[in-house]
Amino acid sequence: MDSIQTDVTLQHLSEEDQKFLLGLVENGGPEHDEYKEFTAIVNNLEDPELDYFRNVIGESLNENTLIGHGFVKPYGYPGDFSIIHNIYKYYVNPDEKYRNWDRFFQAQAGAQAVRNRKDYFLKRCSEIDQKEKGEQHVLILGSGPATDVNEYLHSNPDSRLRFDLVDFDQHAIDFAMQQNEPFKDAINYYKINVLRFKPYQWYDLIWSAGLFDYFKDKHFVYMVNKYYKYLAEGGEFIIGNFSNSNPTRRLMEVLSDWYLVHRSKYDLIRMALEAEAKEEQVEVEMEELGVNLFLRIKAA
């Protein structure tokens, strides 16, 4: 009797829901008017039901879709350079077997927040570039595709910013190098774990997005404390972290097996203070959707 009840719980999805989901797979993902129904199904799933659900939509969870790329993790972790680049470029697979899934993914607040955080970074770079000093140094921790740097240097060919990019994935470094070949004089690459990298200079900006939201609190605090000391006078350390009000959270977890440590403004301030920053040096901003928060720590 017990085992029958367990099976019923695991199957949870009604026949109607299953039919609806199979229809989506056939149609290459949800149409716009199906987003609400699909999201409601996903948001109501419990963890023990995930395998069953993923079996039903299994044909779509492959590398041809953005959600499937997250799920398959061809480079061993979700949120790799390639998916981030594709979010920035608003990539949609032209194949109708997959197109609607990509449109759906790109329409999510989480994806828009990633694009917004790039724009936020571009603004910070431009502010630093306008300072009257000579070369300005920017360190990026977990630099990924460096599409943000590419966009900045492309639009600011006379920039005095010099970038040091740190990433432990050789594929990410290769991709970043290739697309930034025209700007090679302005960029140095370091293939190393950020926990081990030792800076050899001070920076006007230390930037990290899409990295700290994978760290537990104790690593977060360790990293702030470690890098904060490398800020030049007037410099800033800015860390992006998904907010715990991210409406795309469950979709990322269920569809792409992509788990982040979501945090509040107060979590970020508390950890900055634990890392020995002073209250008056710390503030938290957000992009326009409020999905990505930015912890800003000014040099002492």
Ligand X SMILES: C[S@@+](CC[C@H](N)C(=O)[O-])C[C@H]1O[C@@H](n2cnc3c(N)ncnc32)[C@H](O)[C@@H]1O
Site residues (vs ligand X, CB under 6 A): 79-81, 84, 142-144, 148, 166-169, 172, 193-195, 209-211
Least distance CB 73 / ligand X (angstroms): 12
d(CA 207, CA 219): 16
Residue with tokens 């987003």: 35
For ligand X, the closer CB: 64 or 150? 150
- CA 267 to chain centroid, in Å, comes to 18
CB of 84 to ligand X, least distance (A): 5
Nearer to ligand X (CB atom), residue 110 or residue 210: 210
Q: CB-hemisphere CA count at 13 Å for 14?
A: 5
Integer Rg of the chain from CA = 21
Residues forming beta bridges with residue 140, ordered by sequence position: 165, 207
Beta-sheet strands, E only, within 40-113: none
Residue 166 CB, nearest distance to ligand X (Å)?
Answer: 6
CB of 211 to ligand X, least distance (A): 5
Q: Closest CB to ligand X belongs to which residue?
A: 144
CB 29 within 8 A of CB 102: yes
E-state strands within the chain: 136-141, 161-167, 187-191, 203-208, 231-242, 282-286, 292-298
For ligand X, give the closer residue by CB, 12 or 219. Answer: 219
Residue placing its CB nearer to ligand X in the complex, 53 or 207: 207
Question: Which CB sits closer to ligand X, 202 or 222?
Answer: 222
* Closest distance of CB 66 from ligand X, Å: 13
Name the residue type at position 249: R
